Amino acid sequence: MNVNGTDISITNPEKLLWIDSRVTKLDYVHYLLKVSDYLLPYTKDRMLMYWLYPRGLNHSKVEKRSLPTGAPDWISSTFYKGKERILLNDQATLIWLANLQALELHVPFDQYTHQDFPTELVFDLDPSTDEFDLVLETALELKAVLDGMGLQSIPKTSGKTGLQVYVPIQPNFSFEETRMINQFVAEYMLEKLPDKITLDRVKKRRGKKLYFDYLQLWKGRTMAAPYSVRATKEASVSTPVTWQEVEEGFKPSDFTMEVILKRIKEKGDLFRVVRTEKEQNNQRLNDVLAFLKAREKST
């Protein structure tokens, strides 16, 4: 297969990667080619973490962060902590990864050119049960809080069981500063919904409460890239959604590769504001941060 002038061999193209959904490697390659214009802007210049399933989805995964030995020399990379790290910046790299059976693509919150300065605030809503209604309810409560702070927010399914809420910002705030804001919001949410959510990272202590994860936003941690497929039996996709869709309700498994291709044709990139509409949020965050720092000094 020739991808923008680069020849890439697709081995075993008819191999079933998602057996229950009957998705072959070639299906996966074609999906990634069609969504690449929407996916790549969010992976560009970010050090990739990817999950390989060399023996198939029903076997154990291999989490990879480094450029493997023997990788083509045209793949963009950067040297970080003694390792060469892949930068998923182009279609050819995307398809090369697909041929390796990288079935999940995860990226950090900062670009390597602005290390330690995240490009968004993120809250990860992680349910403790199969009940998704609580996730939707909590997301709407969170939106109301962020609206009250003058912060625009965009929801995205994790592609598995949860939902993530992003607040786009310019990379002018350190992880330590964004952690202060995230914690402030999380503690306020806990005051509002004490019987429904928890901030406890230890799973066995959560019971049936939803885990409101404000800590994931940190150096070196990652989340599934928007439009990345996940290693679920449905081959579900981490999908940007509208707040109206959150109000109407859905399940993460509703969003498959086939569905995403139709959504993109109809709705375009619902996540584009994460890249474009940042300045106003920065101004608001300056005010919030000033308040929190003043409060910290006074205690």
**Mean pLDDT value of segment 78-86:** 94
Q: Where are the beta strands (DSSP E) in the chain?
A: 2-3, 6-7, 16-18, 23-24, 49-52, 62-64, 77-80, 83-86, 102-108, 120-126, 154-157, 163-168, 197-198, 210-213, 222-224
Q: Give whole-number Cα distances, 166 to 119, 151, 152, 297, in Å.
A: 10, 10, 8, 29
Residue 279 has pLDDT above 80, yes or no: no
pLDDT band at 295 (very low <50, low <70, confident <90, very high): confident
User: What value does the mean pLDDT of the chain take?
Assistant: 95
**Mean pLDDT value of segment 37-49:** 97
**Mean pLDDT value of segment 171-185:** 96
State what percent of residues in the chain have pLDDT above 70: 99
Task: Give DSSP secondary structure letters for 202-271.
Answer: -GGGTTTSEEEE-SSSSTT-EEEPTT-B-SSTT-BB--B--HHHHHH---GGG-BHHHHHHHHHHH--TT
Query: What are the domain boundaries of the chain?
Result: 2-108, 120-295
In CATH terms, is domain 120-295 a member of 3.90.920.10? Answer: yes
- pLDDT at residue number 154: 97
The 10s digit of each residue's pLDDT in 188-204 is: 999 999 999 999 999 99
